[in-house]
Amino acid sequence: MLEIIALHSYVSTGLAALVKLVTLVLRFTKENVSFVSRALLHVHSTDLRSLTPDDRPPS
């Protein structure tokens, strides 16, 4: 009986850790996707022809 209780405790702890890990990964991914989409919108809205030669990125 003690082995079953120990196994249940081990599995519960493992599942709790897995849930925390998945939550952390999803939160991190959501923030990065939001950042990348905002950066892409900024790039699309910037007209490179309006930059002076000194402001242009190196080719």
pLDDT tens per residue across span 7-24: 667 777 878 888 888 888
Distances (CA, A) of 39 to 13, 32, 55, 59: 39, 10, 18, 20
**Amino acid 2: pLDDT:** 56
Strand boundaries in 1-59, DSSP class E: none
**Amino acid 55: pLDDT:** 55
Q: What angle do CA 49, 50, 51 make, to 5 degrees?
A: 95
pTM of the predicted protein model: 0.43
pLDDT bucket at 4, cuts 50 / 70 / 90: low
- Write the DSSP symbol of residue 48: G
- The full set of domain ranges for the chain reads 13-41
